[in-house]
Amino acid sequence: MPGLHEVSQKLIDNISKVIVGKKEVIEFVAVGLMANGHVLLEDVPGLGKTMLARSLARSIHAEFKRLQFTPDLLPSDVTGVSIYNQKTSEFEFKKGPIFANIVLADEINRTTPRTQSALLEAMQEFKVTVDGILRDLPIPFFVIATENPIEFHGTYPLPESQVDRFLMQLGVGYPSHQEEVGILTRNFKESPLETLQSVVSIQEIIEVQEFVTSVSIEEKIVDYIVKIISTTRNLPGDIKLGASPRASLALMRTARALAFLDKRDYVIPDDVKRLAYPVLRHRIILQPRSIVRGLSAQDIVGHILKKVPVPA
C-alpha cells in the first residue's frame, strides 16, 4: 500500500509543476481517476481547464486523445467508422479518438446532442457499439470534459442523463495575485507542459483503482451518504429534481478514493462532506423560483450538509 500512495502523490506533484495554486482541483481530478469515473471541468475561459487535462495525460504513460467538439462533429468522428477495403473486400474498423486511456472532450457543449450522446455508452459501460458490434475501450478509460458556463451562443446544454454520467463537476477559479505571478514566472521562456515527463504507468493506475475498491467504509457512513442523497429528493420548495442512486454510488466511490489519497484505508464523514459539493451540485435541478431568489445548487448542498446529522 505505501508504494501505491506514492503513485498518487507523484501524479499530483507532477501536475502541480504546470498548474499553480489549484491543489484541491488537482486532487479532485486525481480522485476521479482513482475512483474510475469521469470529470467535468466547468469554468470561464483561460483558467487552465485544458492545461490541467493535458498535464494529467502527460503525467501518465498512457494513450491520450483530444476531441475538440464543434457543431459539425459527427458521432462517427468520436467512436470510429468502418471503411471498405477493396484489396481484402472486407470492411475494416478505424478506431475513433474515444479509444484512448485519457480522452479530453474540449468544449463538450459546442456539439449537437446527437454527437454528445456518442459519449454516453462509453462513459457508463466503458464500451461502444459501432455497426452493431460491441467494442471494449482501453483500461483505464478516463474522460475529462470542459465547458464554458457563461457563453450560450452556439452551444447545446448537456442533457441531465449525460451530466449524471460525470462523477464530479469541478470549477478551477481565478488565481490569487501571488499565484498569477507564479504562472507568469513559470512561463518566462516556455510552457512547463512542454518539458513535463511521465511519472506514472498505466499498470500503476489500474492497481490504485483496484485498491480503492477495498478501502473500508462503515455501515453508519453508508447510511450518512444515503441520508444526504435522499434529502435532495425530499427538500420541498427549492429542488425540482433530486439526486439518483448513481449519485450515492459516486459519493461512496469518491470518498474511498479521497481516503486513499489521505493515506487511510477507511472513510470518515469529512471525506463525504468534502466531496458532496463536486459530486452533487450538477445532479440537483432547482425550481425556477429558487433560481430567481438567487439560490444555487451549491447553496442547497451546503444546507443539506448542515441538516443531516453527522455520524459519531
CATH number of the domain that residue 111 is part of: 3.40.50.300
Last-in-domain residue among 145, 178, 208: 208
Same domain, 277 and 234: yes
Domain assignment of residue 78, yes or no: yes
Residue 289 has pLDDT above 80, yes or no: no
Query: Cell numbers at residue 223, please?
Result: 447510511
Same domain, 126 and 203: yes
Same domain, 41 and 64: yes
Domain assignment of residue 239, yes or no: yes
Domain assignment of residue 122, yes or no: yes
Domain assignment of residue 131, yes or no: yes
Which CATH number fits the domain that encloses residue 295? 1.10.8.80
Same domain, 270 and 238: yes
Residue 24 has pLDDT above 90, yes or no: no
pLDDT at position 153 is: 62
Same domain, 109 and 238: no
pLDDT at position 150 is: 62
Distance CA 257, CA 1 (A): 13
Last-in-domain residue among 151, 173, 208: 208
Same domain, 238 and 161: no
Distance CA 212, CA 190 (A): 37
Domain assignment of residue 191, yes or no: no
pLDDT at position 1 is: 56
Distance CA 269, CA 267 (A): 7
Same domain, 203 and 236: no
Band of residue 223 on the pLDDT scale cut at 50, 70, 90: very high
Same domain, 61 and 174: yes
Same domain, 244 and 122: no
Domain assignment of residue 312, yes or no: no
pLDDT at position 2 is: 56
- Residue 132: burial class (beta carbons within 10 Å; 0-12, 13-18, 19+): exposed
Distance CA 128, CA 65 (A): 16
Domain assignment of residue 52, yes or no: yes
Domain assignment of residue 193, yes or no: no
For 69-86, letters b (16+ CB in 10 Å) and e give beeebebebbbbbeeeee
Residue 199 has pLDDT above 60, yes or no: yes
pLDDT at position 51 is: 83
| Rg of the chain on CA atoms, in Å | 20
Please give the mean pLDDT across all residues of the chain: 85
Same domain, 302 and 225: yes
Last-in-domain residue among 156, 175, 208: 208
Of 39-53, 131-145, 274-288, the one with minimum mean pLDDT is: 39-53
Same domain, 9 and 132: yes
Same domain, 122 and 9: yes
Number of domains within the chain: 2
The pTM is what? Answer: 0.88
Distance CA 297, CA 290 (A): 10
257 vs 184, more confident: 257
The residue-averaged pLDDT of 302-307 equals 88
Residue 89 has pLDDT above 60, yes or no: yes
Structural domain span for residue 275: 216-307
**Longest Cα–Cα distance in the chain:** 70
